[in-house]
């Protein structure tokens, strides 16, 4: 398989030498227990498979990363079973700590998430324990031509030529800022990076801004309530709320009843209501809110 990939990519002699030195594809089909857990007396127990992986990896002095492709093949049980997933991620974490390499667990996104174009950390099928117990979550999915238009002309051309992929960071570390999405065009084993137009980020920002303001208008007055309505990456969402506060499009309603933990509810300002109404193609209602109802936003 590795030789087929190298031939398809038309690597030169120096690149072939590098692949031979740095890349390993190991088949575990004949292994006694090629899974991290197994069923025993109606329960799932650890197999110690990670110890065999660690021992094999010791022969690679410059090991960088290990990918277990796919999660379903190596977990040893249903990906819907929280205990199976927790044991698998724990075993993968031990491999990473003992070898000093990253460990990747490729998995499948849900069909409904894919159709809806969702990129959040819980788009993977099965138990949410996979995202909750992994340090980073990256989402790779194919974009529609309508989505590609927002990225730019080069992305639209790539989509028309056979598909455009988007790789985005759906969950990261507090110490590592999430990178911008990466757009890729795939042709067989060949991947070519597609550079997004400068306006793509502005479009994404405008869409998130509209979603946050619409959520507040529709009754989501806390950050958690907005997150439940809007979804997506929490760090981006909280950053957008801070930008809207700074821009004066939303404000904390300090005269209204406090929310949990003494936090003031969020509301649209007059400028925010006007902008949202303008985007919807309607005229805002400039009448003041009724007395005793300061915690709500008036309709457009």
Say if residue 208 is in the same domain as residue 275.
yes
DSSP state, 232?
Answer: S
- Residue 7 within a domain: no
Burial class (CB in 10 A: 0-12, 13-18, 19+), 156: buried
Specify the pairing of strand 182-187 against strand 190-194.
Answer: antiparallel
CA angle 94, 98, 99 (to 5 degrees): 115
Say if residue 244 is in the same domain as residue 220.
yes
- Neighbour tally for 71: CB within 10 Å: 23
Higher pLDDT, 199 or 83: 83
Nearest CA among 79, 81, 25, 85 for reference residue 56: 25
- Residue 15 within a domain: no
- Neighbour tally for 142: CB within 10 Å: 14
Say if residue 247 is in the same domain as residue 174.
no
Say if residue 148 is in the same domain as residue 101.
no
In the chain, the percentage of residues whose pLDDT exceeds 70 is 89
The whole-model pTM stands at: 0.62
Give how many domains the chain has, as a whole number: 3
CA angle 1, 97, 236 (to 5 degrees): 85
- Residue 84 within a domain: yes
pLDDT at 25: 83
In the chain, the percentage of residues whose pLDDT exceeds 90 is 29
Residue 207 to residue 13: CA distance in whole angstroms: 47
User: 236 lies in which domain range?
Assistant: 200-280
Say if residue 189 is in the same domain as residue 242.
no
Say if residue 130 is in the same domain as residue 158.
no
Tens digit of pLDDT for each residue in 5-57? 888 888 888 989 998 888 888 777 666 668 999 988 888 899 999 998 998 88
Q: CATH no. for residue 240?
A: 1.10.10.10
Tens digit of pLDDT for each residue in 154-180? 888 888 777 789 998 888 777 777 778
């Amino acid at each position: 398989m590795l030789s087929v990939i190298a031939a398809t990519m038309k690597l030169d002699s120096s690149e072939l030498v590098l692949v031979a030195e740095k890349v390993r594809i190991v088949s575990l089909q004949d292994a006694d227990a090629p899974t991290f857990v197994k069923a025993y007396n109606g329960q799932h127990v650890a197999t110690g498979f990670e110890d065999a992986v660690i021992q094999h990896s010791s022969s690679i002095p410059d090991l960088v990363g290990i990918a277990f492709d796919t999660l379903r093949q190596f977990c040893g049980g249903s990906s819907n079973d929280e205990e199976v997933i927790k044991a698998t991620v724990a075993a993968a974490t031990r491999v990473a700590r003992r070898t000093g390499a990253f460990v990747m667990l490729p998995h499948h996104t849900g069909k409904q998430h894919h159709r809806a174009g969702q990129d959040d950390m819980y788009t993977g099928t099965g138990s949410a324990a996979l995202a909750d117990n992994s340090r980073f979550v990256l989402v790779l999915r194919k974009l529609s031509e309508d989505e590609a238009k927002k990225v730019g002309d080069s992305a639209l051309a790539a989509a028309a030529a056979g598909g455009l992929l988007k790789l985005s960071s759906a969950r990261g570390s507090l110490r590592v800022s999430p990178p911008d999405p990466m757009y890729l065009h795939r042709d067989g084993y060949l991947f070519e990076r597609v550079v997004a137009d400068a306006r793509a980020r502005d479009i994404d920002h405008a869409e998130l801004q509209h979603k946050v303001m619409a959520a507040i208008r529709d009754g989501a007055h806390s950050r958690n309530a907005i997150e439940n309505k809007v979804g997506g990456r929490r760090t981006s969402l909280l950053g957008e709320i801070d930008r809207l506060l700074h821009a004066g499009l939303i404000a904390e309603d300090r005269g209204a009843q406090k929310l949990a933990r003494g936090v003031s509810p969020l509301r649209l300002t007059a400028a925010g209501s006007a902008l949202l109404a303008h985007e919807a193609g309607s005229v805002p209602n400039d009448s003041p809110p009724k007395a005793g109802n300061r915690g709500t936003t008036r309709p457009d």
